[in-house]
Structure 1
């Protein structure tokens, strides 16, 4: 039996959050429905952040209420603080299979630009969210930004990333996604980062999140596979980028990741034909030409 790799689809949230055009909820739902049909088992569909800061995430409450229920499919929602978590609890319908994600940065510069807080201050907020989620039994995922290079602080020491991962997992035994936020990683720097992180967390609780800005995302995934990682974030159609990371468009495309994994002999459970249809829809949404 082929080794299994899980794709964590982030297109509807991380992929769309930086688009200039206000994308209607109906278009976002159409994309989520197309993705839900492909065999993906985890899709990030929105964020309970204030629309004042990320306008594209307005309407997340409506999306949560309307997404299709598919056996084995869990939906992820990004939650920045306790207020956002309470919005999550108020929005999810009974029986909704969901999880929340919290995020921190490996660097002070990005933390202050993205969260308007130091790393320590961001952990205070995250700690409150995680404690509340654990209390009510909602699964939690963690994101760490700028694991290789920061647009404000430059190169990031691998030990610095490991320290942040360790602090997150002290809050709860969560999966942690390691984000190359500006796509500056190469196999050598990604490998060094992973070596440090694997000293504090096993490969089975780690995910790789690579942007393809530098054209090395697939190579970085291969290095991560060699290190034992079996979960990778990707955005259908290569959507995305971070509004707080200048010059960092382009999450690695889900269809490219699935195809490369198949070439390497890994199983994903994703239907490539249906994924191609979802990618075509994602591109139409990006261009604003949805029929």
Structure 2
């Protein structure tokens, strides 16, 4: 996932988020009753906040831990302990505290969100995605017409290949705003992933009726035409329009190269695909290049491209081609 390539950015985001979480917690949140123990826990907690805002994180942590001894099952205290650990760079300890906080209060979205960010910095992608999903799903439940949240949730489901769930989110967006081009694009893409080509084509066309210069829809529709053996000339028109919008887009260039290959223009295909792979290292482009080299009679280069493709992503069809060539 792209966010894993931006570790420094996410780390900054984490610290920023931590700095503003849980800043004002009422005394009633600390302790089920107005007891002396609860009042003392609240005092330790507030002292911790004061140290925290002064930048004395280690001192703050000590105060939060004192509060936790008196109120061990309080999720707000656990959240602040986790935040302090994170600021001190003690990520494993922070994760454990946030996990405990979410167990104590599953509806605390701050905890889930911060836990997701910590998992992201630790490159624990599956765990991070799980926490993001919890946050987005709960926000969507609270505010069904929040289109932006549904976009995030739909795209998350799409990345996870939970296509039916993704489709529901994008359809919900379109019920509120039928002209949301990005929702139409992702809905069409989900249909295509499910091999529902007619629905995908119709939905991409709807997107282009609203925004004729939507590059991703132009390219995707053109690529479907190429893959399904429809009108190759029309496919190239669509893909070239996408390239007019974004000339250095490796995915678009790959589509053009693949269209050339399907039209029997192998040399032209080679030029475009070699250019594409320099801009966008992707298993599909390497697979396409392998097919082109094989067509040109260079089996060694074909094998090399398919091996690179498999290094990026295990794909049975690519593996089968490589095995046939190596027999």
Provide TM-score, normalisation by structure 1. Answer: 0.29
Provide TM-score, normalisation by structure 2. Answer: 0.27
Give the structure with the larger strand fraction: 1
Report 1 or 2 for greater relative contact order, CA contacts < 8 Å, sequence distance ≥ 6: 1
Give the structure with the larger helix fraction: 2
